[in-house]
Structure 1
Amino acid sequence: MPAPTPPAAGFPPAGDVAPAGGFPPPESSGRRRIWPIVVVAVLLALVAGGGSGAVVGRYVARHTTTASPSSTVSSTTGNSATSSTAPTVPPAPAGSIAAVAKQLLPSVVSIIVTTDQGGDEGTGIVLSSDGYILTNNHVVEAAAGGGIVAVTTADGRSMRARIVGRDPTSDLAVIQAVGVTNLQPAAIGDDRTLQVGQQVIAIGSPLGLSNTVTAGIVSALNRPVCTQNCSGGGTTPTVLDAIQTDAAINPGNSGGPLVDMAGRVVGVNTAIATLDQQPFGGGQSGNIGVGFAIPISEAMRVVKELEATGHATHAVLGVGVRDSVDPTLQTPNGCLVVSVTAGGPADRAGVRVGDVIVQFGDRTIRDSDSLIAATHAAVPNSTVTIGFVRNGSRHTTQVTLGSASSG
């Protein structure tokens, strides 16, 4: 096939990138789908994905409960009424879910975006006392051209926020709450120490229910997950190099923290897999125990650039790709190079059209999504080892990646 023109950012052209590895196209019913997790803040309205492109068709009922302001408990026995003081709550054991939740809740905010076209709702992670907050791009992008971004803290304070910078490629954004000086920053951990099976906690505002805490485990690491533009059509897909978890996350958890049991943020909750069942006229169902978070090490690199310039850079390999399929088993067996950018990193390293890339650094490459995810997660201008198969023989080469801004 003729070599397509790579996009400006240097990532594989979407026309030559297969749909997300193993995930079916949207029209397939009864199968898994990957959605950014975002909720429109409208009472009893259809939930829509805003600028993310995800169409969500579930009705959301907002349940309000009224708590008594009294600190006493009254009871009536026969004709007599008694009043007793509420019991003292003992401190949570160190390292328990309750202790971690108490530590992190003050560092998590709810985000509501309002525009003339509607709005979105999500969660944010406090980065600094003066109001810098990390969230998902798909939570706030609707307000990029005008609108209101409001944040509400765990103790009920609400304030306006401004967008500092957005990065559609990583689906991350930084906003700043205006006029605050006393927010509590979250402790930042290191996702590179995570192990499959390790317990984690998710905190956020699923379905508009702020200050919600759920728990689970790390189900998988380095999971390539395509969340947007996954079927080609000329736009570079957004593929996350994700932490997979079974901690319950739902629309509205977007941008909230995935936390280890030491109370440190290890990921940014971003997407969920759902079954394509549409009982309310189409769209996204809720949690089925398959959620995805952006590793915090990748996120914090992007944060620093967004805070400094409003934009972020990403590594460039300079190839157009699609899945390579084993002719006998009909299973993906690598990433087929269908075009090479002249003078780009791959070209300079000797990669050619027809090569099947099977290794990127220390990662096994099984399909095009895994190569895109690995490239996006790499540090721009770094050098990595590429393993590939050419005419049945295995080869390796050193590639010095390029760098390009996604915004």
Structure 2
Amino acid sequence: MHGEHANPQDVEQVQASQGWNQPRAGEAPPAPAHSARLSTGAVAGLLVGALLAGTAGGYVGSQLGAGRADTSTVNEVLRQPISQESAPVVDGSIETVAAKVLPAVVAIQVASERAVASGSGSVISPDGYVLTNHHVVAGARGGQIQVTMNDGSKHPADLVASDANTDVGVIKIRDVENLPYLDFADSSALRVGQGVVAVGSPLGLNATVTSGIVSALNRPVRASQGGGESSLIDAIQTDAAVNPGNSGGPLVDMEGNLVGMNSMIASLSATGGQESGSIGLGFAIPSTFAKRMADQLINTGQVKHPMLGVQVSPREMVDGALIRAVEPGSPADAAGLREGDIITRVDERQIDSADSLIAATRSQEFGATVTLEVVREDNSQPRQVEVTLTSE
């Protein structure tokens, strides 16, 4: 399917982990897994509110204390010796997840002629292949890559391949073996509300661990990659705190298995072009999709996607994806789809935009047969159409 024909200025825009994500018109702005923007006025308001609350609380406490002389009970508690025992480590806790995952997460620095970029990555094989974002390593051609392991050791690395459209990249650490690495989990089995942990190097702070939940699934999120390129991912949304530098790092389940790659965050408006931190809206590339992209990048140097064979318009105000052209001989052509058809559902998934259709199609397996719900622009009754996507 030709998602590349969509104009990113006309759809939801989300910057990559090194930039800012902007929402589509009329919606709150999403930003990349880098950071989110908060206006100076809003920050000042939060600080003032906290100070006022503290002052009022202190005054009330003083009045209560003045009218009560007996402090024997509270003093008895305060004078108890502090326990020297640590809480037991519980299997499935964030602590055990962190202990398992941290050795397989690296900080990445890319030095080019123009700048030094930083991000994170997941070791996915004992011989040093690392999964990360395209926008983290985009400047590596002609530049240098260095990774920092959890033990502080630094190693040179080489770019294997990357893809701007999906924001997936792979690098390989030189001359290493028997590295700890992360196992892929089936991201299609994720549930909203499920606990997850994000690991990476936000703002250059290596080996940072944050936790949260899966806030939503199947979020089509577009990000500017610079140079007129953009990426579109069918994202996992999470409230685990991710900030600039988390890009490319893992989102793992409570077993420590890779379920996503942190790539973008939502942003609020900002003044002075300054970046601020997480607002609890992070987006990760699902692990099943990232694994397929990594396989292709490592073995062929490029990626391909299952295709429907239509061109869709991002400009139209319709409830679905409006087909503007059907490629002759494509799966869509064979299924009888026509210009002017509006696709409103792929299997059980609702389609409300061109990007939504592109993301839903890319997430399918090669050769998969899907059922589309289709209506015409004249508001005809919906019909069901079976389409077998292109094979690899």
TM-score by length of 1: 0.76
Aligned residue in 2 for 1:95 = 92
Q: Following TM superposition, by how much is the alpha carbon of 1:183 offset from its aligned partner in structure 2, in angstroms?
A: 1.2
Q: Does 1:342 align with 2:328?
A: yes
Give the 3-state SS of the residue equivalent to 2:135 in structure 1: helix
- Quick check: 2:11–2:25 contact (8 Å CA) kept in 1? no
CA distance in 2: counterparts of 1:220 and 1:26, whole angstroms: 16
Deviates more, 1:315-324 or 1:209-218: 315-324
Shift of 1:28: 8.5
Count of aligned positions: 337
State the partner residue of 1:397. Answer: 385
Quote the Cα distance in structure 2 between the aligned partners of 1:27 and 1:323: 11
Q: Describe how 1:92-131 pairs up with structure 2 within 5 A.
A: 92-131=89-128
**Cα contact 1:110–1:153 (8 A) shared by 2:** yes
Partners of 2:219 and 2:309 in 1: how far apart? 22
What SS class does the counterpart of residue 289 from structure 2 fall into? helix
Identify which of 272, 289, 295 aligns with 1:298.
289
Q: Describe the shift of the 1:337–1:29 C-alpha distance in structure 2 as closer, same or farther (beyond 3 A).
A: closer
Match in the other structure for 2:264: 271
1:186 aligned residue: 182
Question: Shift of the alpha carbon at 1:218?
Answer: 0.5
Deviations 1:350-403 (A, max 9, x none): 111111100113311111121111112122332222211024121122222236
- Correspondent of 1:151 among 120, 143, 147: 147
Residue in 2 that maps onto 1:11:
3
Q: Which moved more, 1:134-143 or 1:344-353?
A: 344-353
| 8 A contact 1:21–1:368 mirrored in 2 | no
Percent of aligned pairs with the same amino acid: 44
Q: Distance in 2 between matches of 1:295 and 1:16?
A: 21
CA distance in 2 between partners of 1:121 and 1:13 (Å): 30
CA distance in 1, matches of 2:262, 2:14: 21
Closer, same or farther in 2 for the Cα pair 1:325/1:162, shift >3 Å? closer
Q: Which whole-Å deviations, capped at 9, do the CAs of 1:63-88 have from their partners, x for residues lacking one? A: xxxxxxxxxxxxxxxxxxxxxxxx78
Residues 17 and 320, structure 1, Cα contact 8 Å, conserved in 2: no
Larger radius of gyration: 2
Checking the alignment, whether the CA contact within 8 Å between 2:260 and 2:284 is kept in structure 1 is yes
Match of 1:307 in 2: 298
- 2:378 corresponds to 1:381: no
CA 1:17–1:147: 2 relative to 1, 3 Å: closer
Inter-partner Cα distance in structure 1 for 2:291 and 2:8: 30
Over the aligned positions, Cα root-mean-square deviation in angstroms equals 2.9
The separation in 1 between residues aligned to 2:319 and 2:391, in whole angstroms, is: 28
The CA distance in 1 between the partners of 2:258 and 2:14, in whole Å, is 29
Unaligned runs of 5+ in 1: 1-8, 39-86, 327-331
Q: Secondary structure at the match of 2:329?
A: coil
Structure 2 gaps of 5+ residues are 16-20, 36-83
Q: Is the 8 A contact 1:325 1:333 kept in 2?
A: no
- Please, which moves more after superposition, 195-204 or 377-386? 377-386
- In the other structure, the counterpart of 1:201 is 197
Distance 1:199 1:126 in 2: 22
CA distance in 2, matches of 1:361, 1:236: 30
Q: How far, CA to CA, are the matches of 2:8 and 2:110 in structure 1? A: 35
Say yes or no: does 1:322 pair with 2:309. Answer: no
Match of 1:49 in 2: none
- CA 347–273 in structure 1, closer or farther in 2 if over 3 Å, else same: same
Q: 2:134, 2:167 within 8 Å by CA — same for their partners in 1?
A: yes
Q: 2:12 touches 2:23 (CA, 8 Å); kept in 1? A: no
Q: Which has the higher strand share?
A: 1
Secondary structure of the residue aligned to 2:171 is strand
SS of the equivalent of 1:189 reads: coil
Give 1:303 shift: 1.3
Q: In 2, distance between residues paired with 1:117 and 1:297?
A: 34
Contact 2:222/2:233 (8 A) holds in 1: yes
**Is the CA contact 2:169–2:297 (under 8 Å) kept in the aligned structure 1?**
yes
1:238 counterpart letter in structure 2: S
| Contact persistence 2:107–2:120 (CA under 8 A) | yes
Contact 1:11 1:236 in 2 (8 A): no
Q: Distance between the aligned counterparts of 1:179 and 1:88, measured in 2? A: 42
Residue type of the alignment partner of 1:181 = E
Cα–Cα, structure 1 residues 396 and 224, in superposed 2: closer, same or farther, change >3 Å? same
Q: Per the alignment, in what secondary structure is the counterpart of residue 192 of structure 1?
A: helix
* Aligned-partner residue type, residue 11 of structure 1: G
Q: Deviations over 1:281-315 (max 9, x none)?
A: 21543210000001101111111111211212112
Q: What letter matches 2:262 in structure 1? A: N
Which position in structure 2 is the counterpart of 1:44? none
Q: Distance in 1 between matches of 2:106 and 2:162?
A: 18
SS in 2 for 1:226: strand
Distance 1:156 1:15, change over 3 A: closer
| TM-score (ref. length: structure 2) | 0.79
SS in 1 for 2:267: strand
Matched, 1:228 2:214: no
Residues 168-219 of structure 1, C-alpha deviations (whole Å, 9 max, x = no match): 2211111110011131011221212211111111000001100000011110
Amino acid across the alignment from 1:165: A
Q: Which has the higher helix share?
A: 2
* CA displacement 1:215-271 (0-9 Å, x = unmatched): 1111001111111279xx9x6752210100000000100011111111111100000
SS of equivalent to 2:198 = strand
